[in-house]
Structure 1
């Protein structure tokens, strides 16, 4: 017990959330939240908003679960209205995200969309503009990975294409199509990864795309700064989301490699996105916010 004055409100970050070893669990991609043990924390009981994003209009990809759900919840509780994407197979998880946004008193539109397809990206941007008239914040969060422990020889062209088209093509198309609808003071936030700097061999193609997102973010930020649009990215370390049991062969030790000794919960990522989207970050662009649980990055 810590008797230091005021210490009752503090929490040890190494033990705040579950630590491995976890039960072994396997799901078919893209995975779903309800089957996970322990269940992910998206901030349902903990996130408290303070009006940082009041009346902002948001387009968010991959909002059905994981980091995307946590970001949708936090943005809504900060006062934002949201259009978010999900795959058709993720409709159940998407309904829960929509409920959380609605419970915060904000507008929400859950849109089935495969961002690997250019025309679907175009229709998505048109839907957001139709509903809101503008896009204040674009969050490119949707991603795909698949572990191949035996190396590059087991990465099929089909897998490589799915990873690259999801992680890079979709982001590129959505930025290109959304920028004309983002007013001065708007923001783009991309999701990269610790894998961009410290690639795991079994995630070679995924890590490659996350490195490209860092470069894209920094270049686009310089391109758009004169338009008053900031572009940044968040680089998470291991995060406990449905993508993990759906794409990794061993979940028992997941996150143990982080110096903090556990994976992040999605709720621990959302504040970084809120900060970068808010006026508190008005002098911050072309930056990568690292949230790796203690893994040093450049």
Structure 2
């Protein structure tokens, strides 16, 4: 039987702009209610929530939080349940990187490596720990989706820290998928460069030098 999204409650982290905003609109178009997480772009989150409600007639709320902080991960799930009445799907789209010379192992600081790790890897665990009991209590279980990157399966990307942590995130997905079923379905999407908010960033940086992103050199 097809899994209908109509009336489902969906939390999208990093949902206020770029790929996250596209994900939110696609879910809303299928009739899903949304909790849109943002880190700092509150105005964009509010605009998107209003648009989804107006265009698709769904309930849409916003919540601030940093998925690199364990307590925030728990709060995002709790707020989703509080404001939407439950949670059926969690899309962990939030991620962090800083453009750096890929082969320079000193370009990223240890603090930046730590931030990559907490946002891109540990957030998966922290969110799953909070949402798993709720998914298991749902009659239809739940869906846990991870926005990864082809940088996680190639030695390339915006930085070595990003590539390494995206690879770890893919393995985390496999571990969660093999252990958290049968009611929790886990998967990851590994896109390349998407022409959303990243397009202007890439164009700005490539004016001065070629930039390799997820295995492709952009000039």
Do the structures match in fold with TM over 0.5?
Answer: yes
The two structures have a TM-score, normalised by structure 1, of 0.64
CA RMSD of aligned residues (A): 2.7
The two structures have a TM-score, normalised by structure 2, of 0.85
The 5-angstrom pairing of residues 114-125 of structure 1 reads: 114-125=66-77
CA–CA separation in structure 1 for the residues paired with 2:115 and 2:199: 17
Match of 2:149 among 184, 193, 201: 193
Please give the secondary structure, in 2, of the residue aligned with 1:152.
coil
CA–CA separation in structure 2 for the residues paired with 1:157 and 1:244: 28
Match of 2:49 among 90, 93, 98: 98
The 5-angstrom pairing of residues 148-167 of structure 1 reads: 148-149=100-101, 151-167=104-120
Report deviation, 1:214: 1.1
Partner residue, 2:133: 180
Contact 1:238–1:258 (8 Å) recurs in 2:
no
Question: Cα distance 1:140–1:66, how it changes in 2: closer, same or farther (>3 A)?
Answer: same
Report deviation, 1:186: 1.7
- Report which of the two structures shows the higher radius of gyration computed on alpha carbons: 1
Match of 2:171 among 215, 219, 223: 215
Q: Whose strand fraction is larger, Structure 1's or Structure 2's? A: 2
Match of 2:187 among 232, 237, 244: 232
Matched, 1:82 2:44: no
Contact 1:151–1:202 (8 Å) recurs in 2:
no
Please give the secondary structure, in 1, of the residue aligned with 2:82.
helix
Please give the per-residue CA displacement for 1:227-262, whole angstroms capped at 9, x wherever unaligned. x22111100011123346558862457799988x99
Gaps of 5+ in 2: none
Contact 2:14–2:94 (8 Å) recurs in 1:
yes
Structure 1's consecutive aligned runs of 4 or more residues displaced over 3 angstroms after TM superposition are 243-249, 251-259
The count of corresponding residues between Structure 1 and Structure 2 is 209
Matched, 1:241 2:193: no
CA–CA separation in structure 2 for the residues paired with 1:230 and 1:111: 24
Please give the secondary structure, in 2, of the residue aligned with 1:67.
helix
Partner residue, 2:160: 204
Report deviation, 1:79: 0.4
Question: Cα distance 1:58–1:232, how it changes in 2: closer, same or farther (>3 A)?
Answer: same
Contact 2:12–2:34 (8 Å) recurs in 1:
yes
Report deviation, 1:210: 0.8
